[in-house]
């Protein structure tokens, strides 16, 4: 749903194809993934028929990890590589995760953590029935991230753009800069005003930057 208005603000030469994971919106009745590898395999199978043309990948937070491992999976299993990947608001994957284990916290502590990171609307946090729907998905997402184990592979050849909110309390610019180790191509870091969810508050700036990068890559291909 975050990406619903992106097609209107991205160049017409680029098709925006959001991936809806199980457990969300129209897939609420499906169990969310708790491990990354099965998720990558499922996404790869779903999008493979459309990868007969140049493609780029964008992922925010957990999506950045999905984006990165999907790119490596496509290279490893199908000999395909994106024209570019955009990783947003997630530390480089080889950096050790030192944060608190969240996915098995008691519910009151989990809700307190969600308030702290400001990622869940206040209206949702204060709606008990809605929280009962949301909490299993949130736990699954945190479990997927916090059970991830990085495995060393050669860097990708495609350019990587690392994007982050300058006020993100959980991800530093230095941690985003470390993504440079995962490409032999061009690498850029861009910061935007806002916190971990800058892609909502600074959406026009973000989409402007994405449009410029995508148009540049199209001109190079």
Q: Among 112, 24, 102, 15, which Cα is nearest to 63's? A: 24
- Confidence at residue 121, expressed as pLDDT on a 0 to 100 scale: 64
CA 60 from centroid of its chain's CA atoms: 3
Parts of the chain with a pLDDT under 70: 98-100, 117-122, 124-127
Residues identified as active-site: 61
CB neighbours of residue 40 within 10 Å = 21
User: Per residue in 53-96, pLDDT tens?
Assistant: 999 999 999 999 999 999 999 999 999 999 999 999 999 999 97
Query: Domains plus CATH for the chain?
Result: 60-95+156-221 (3.40.50.1820), 98-147 (no CATH)
- Environment class of 97 (CB within 10 Å of its CB; exposed 0-12, middle 13-18, buried 19+): middle
Other Cβ atoms less than 10 A from the Cβ of 182: the count is: 22
Give Cβ neighbours of residue 170 (< 8 Å, ≥ 6 apart): 99, 117, 196
Residues contacting 122, CB < 8 A, separation 6+ = none
pTM above 0.75, yes or no: yes
* pLDDT for residue 210: 94
């Amino acid at each position: 749903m975050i990406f619903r208005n992106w097609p209107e603000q991205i160049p017409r030469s680029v098709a925006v194809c959001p991936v809806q994971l199980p457990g969300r919106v129209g897939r609420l009745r499906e169990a969310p993934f708790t491990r990354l590898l099965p998720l990558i395999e499922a996404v790869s199978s779903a999008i493979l028929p459309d990868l007969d043309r140049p493609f780029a990948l964008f992922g925010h937070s957990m999506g950045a990890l999905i984006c990165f491992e999907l790119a490596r999976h496509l290279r490893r299993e199908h000999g395909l590589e994106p024209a570019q990947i955009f990783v947003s608001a997630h530390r480089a994957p080889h950096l050790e995760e030192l944060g608190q284990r969240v996915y098995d916290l008691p519910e009151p502590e989990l809700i307190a953590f969600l308030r702290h990171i400001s990622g869940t609307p206040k209206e949702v946090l204060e709606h008990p029935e809605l929280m009962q729907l949301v909490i299993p998905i949130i736990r699954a997402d945190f479990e997927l991230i916090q059970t991830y184990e990085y495995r060393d592979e050669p860097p990708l050849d495609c350019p990587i753009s690392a994007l982050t909110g300058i006020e993100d309390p959980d991800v530093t610019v230095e941690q985003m800069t470390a993504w440079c180790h995962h490409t032999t191509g061009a690498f850029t870091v861009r910061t935007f005003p806002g916190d971990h969810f800058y892609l909502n508050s600074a959406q026009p700036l973000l989409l402007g930057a994405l449009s410029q990068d995508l148009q540049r890559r199209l001109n190079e291909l």
